[in-house]
Amino acid sequence: MKNLAFNLFSRILKKVDYFLVITGLFSYLLGCSVADFLGTSLNFESIILGLFLLLSIYITFIIIDLYFEGSYLRENSKPDQKTKIQLIFLLALIAIFLFLIAFLIFLIQSKIQINLETWLFLGTVFFFSILLVLPKLKNDLDPFSLFIKSFMVSALIPAIALLLQRYELNRILSLLALPLFFLHAASSLAGSFSRYASDLSKKRQTTLVSLGWEKGIFFHNIMVLLVFLLLGLGPLFELAWKVIWPALTTGIVGLFQIFQLQKIAQGGKPNWLLLNWTALILYAAIVYMLMFAFFIY
């Protein structure tokens, strides 16, 4: 029984997308920094509870995904006793985490009055999370899953963080949502090149496999350039220059990421570890610079 629990825990950890978790954390803190910039006194209890709520939702749907995978194997082959017990364990874990989500929502509700907008954004997170794990939709949505996750991280998570600080949605997040979407999508795409050969051999219809590596590099480069173009145009839409210019200083990281992929396209030996770290650093650096500006001004 102990080995079974350890095996399930290992499978859950393998399913965790650490890039998604880290970038989601930065986006959440960005939403908090916008609340601080707008003059709201930050409620740190709400920040922690909201963070645990989003993390619990993410882990819950990882477990649901594992359950659906086990159910699929069970339908297509004769299940052994071990598989049956694993499915029962997974159902129990799903129930525990759903209870945890409900309890965290109750705690947040007791601290602040959750408004309709917050419920709407949380519901949208649940909706997209369900779409990405449902067996009948998962394969069809695989080519678009990268963009769905980028939308959740760049638009929904910062908005939830802001709303949990009892602040209404502000145009600042609306103006940042598009460049952050392109930033997250480009960084995610760059990180998926190291898995391209494996995904292709296993016939996984990921975004990069669907695009092909040549188009993937082209779209990556366009999205990186769009990030800095849109941020640079921010002052035209009344986004303060003092907030934008620190983020623009990370342009050298974006150019280095483009350089790495162009080198690979020309037949150079890839350094996947460096490329993956560059993709994470690019997103984290830009969001950190924006957070820094929002907190100090």
Residue 76 pLDDT greater than 70, yes or no? no
Higher model confidence: residue 9 or residue 18?
18
Task: Give the residue numbers spanning the domain of 250.
Answer: 2-296
**Averaged pLDDT for residues 47-75:** 87
pLDDT at 238: 86
* 247-295 per-position pLDDT tens digit: 999 999 999 999 999 999 998 999 999 999 999 999 999 999 999 999 9
Q: How confident is the model at residue 138 (pLDDT cuts 50, 70, 90)?
A: confident
Residue 6 pLDDT greater than 80, yes or no? no
What is the DSSP track for 162-231? HHTTT----HHHHHHHHHHHHHHHHHHHHHHGGGHHHHHHTT---HHHHH-HHHHHHHHHHHHHHHHHHH
pLDDT at 231: 96
Higher model confidence: residue 152 or residue 111?
152
Tokens at 3, concatenated: 């080995």
pLDDT at 74: 52
Q: Strand ranges (DSSP E) for the chain?
A: none
CATH code for the domain of 37: 1.10.600
pLDDT at 61: 95
pLDDT at 260: 96
Q: How confident is the model at residue 28 (pLDDT cuts 50, 70, 90)?
A: very high
pLDDT at 80: 64
Higher model confidence: residue 82 or residue 10?
10
> How many structural domains compose the chain?
1
First to last CA, the chain: 55
**Averaged pLDDT for residues 98-121:** 94
Is the CB of residue 47 less than 8 Å from the CB of residue 118?
no
pLDDT at 137: 87
- pTM, two decimals, is 0.93
Residue 40 pLDDT greater than 60, yes or no? yes
* 211-240 per-position pLDDT tens digit: 999 999 999 999 999 999 999 999 999 899
Mean model confidence pLDDT for the chain: 91
pLDDT at 98: 96
Residue 73 pLDDT greater than 70, yes or no? no
Residues near 31 by Cβ (< 8 Å), separated by ≥ 6?
Answer: 157, 158, 159, 160, 161, 162, 165, 173
